[in-house]
Amino acid sequence: MIVLALPGAAALAADLAGRLACPWSQLATHRFPDGESLVRIDAPVQDRCVVLVGSLDHPDGKTLPLLFAADAARELGAERVGLVAPYLAYMRQDMRFHPGEAVTSRSYARLLSGALDFLVTVDPHLHRWHALGDIYSIRTQAVAAAPAIARWLRDQVPQPLLVGPDAESAQWIAHVAHLCSSPWTVMEKTRSGDREVRVAFAPDNDWTGRTPVLLDDVVSTGGTMVAAVRAIAAAGLGPPVCVATHALLDDEALDALRDAGATRFVSCDSVPHSSNAIALGPLLADAVRALARPSTSSR
């Protein structure tokens, strides 16, 4: 086995390779003046299982190098080619909301399935799709970040009260709460557009002495979490700690969270971000070990 780091993923690749006790190499990339790109694999891959590593935030610029690398690895004799993408893009467009729209979660799944033998990701947005296998035709594993998040909460937050941003998050929030033996509740969310969010929160218990912990799987604009922080303050609870699996937000959104009253924002290291505090490496390594083995469904 060999791990190949996609652009921006050297730290994750090195950590994963160390846990898998295998070599790793950085994929060489070059962009030409006309906008085309070139990738080069500088490590021997013949007869090896090649594990490409890199999150797919800002996916439009990352997907072509990924596909080129997978194809090059096959041409160079790789036995199997897999991808560890802790954040998997295009999962939120899971139906045709307006006539003529592409169902991009399904389109993207077809694209990656045609290039790879297996896929490992973390807490993908599974709402209308029940499992990755609904749209991916390759071996997949959706790693749950819940154990890592629960461990961090047990160590870092006294008497946590876990709060989810909407009813959709209830099952996930309940799982984390069970793992760290904490109470939990969810808010009511109404979204109107990409950035306009309304959140209602009416606690039905006395949570005196508890530290509110806002949990969400993906934080991008930060609008939902900012509204949730304000709702917690309006309900008379203390300033919350905010936790996300995937931090896609910029500095402006991070400042907005702090201004709204959040004491801290932390994330899993699925996407490189200044808030990374929760390591996913052990969980990812276990998933790769399980999927990298040949199976009757492999290419």
Which are the catalytic amino acids? Answer: 189
> How far is it, in rounded angstroms, from Cα 19 to Cα 269?
16
> How far is it, in rounded angstroms, from Cα 50 to Cα 280?
20
Tell me the C-alpha to C-alpha distance, in Å, between residue 115 and each of 34, 64, 108, 127, 144. 25, 11, 11, 25, 24
> How far is it, in rounded angstroms, from Cα 137 to Cα 27?
26
Tell me the C-alpha to C-alpha distance, in Å, between residue 185 and each of 215, 272, 280. 11, 29, 25
Q: Indicate the residue type of 291.
A: L
The distance from CA 199 to its chain's CA centroid, rounded to whole angstroms, is 23
> How far is it, in rounded angstroms, from Cα 296 to Cα 13?
27
Output the DSSP codes for 113-138: HTT-SEEEEES---SSSSSGGGT--S
Would you say 295 and 117 are in contact if contact means Cβ atoms under 8 Å apart? no
Q: Which residues pair with 141 in a beta bridge?
A: 120
Q: What angle do CA 250, 172, 118 make, to 5 degrees?
A: 75
11 Cβ neighbours under 8 A, 6+ residues apart: 272
Would you say 262 and 239 are in contact if contact means Cβ atoms under 8 Å apart? yes
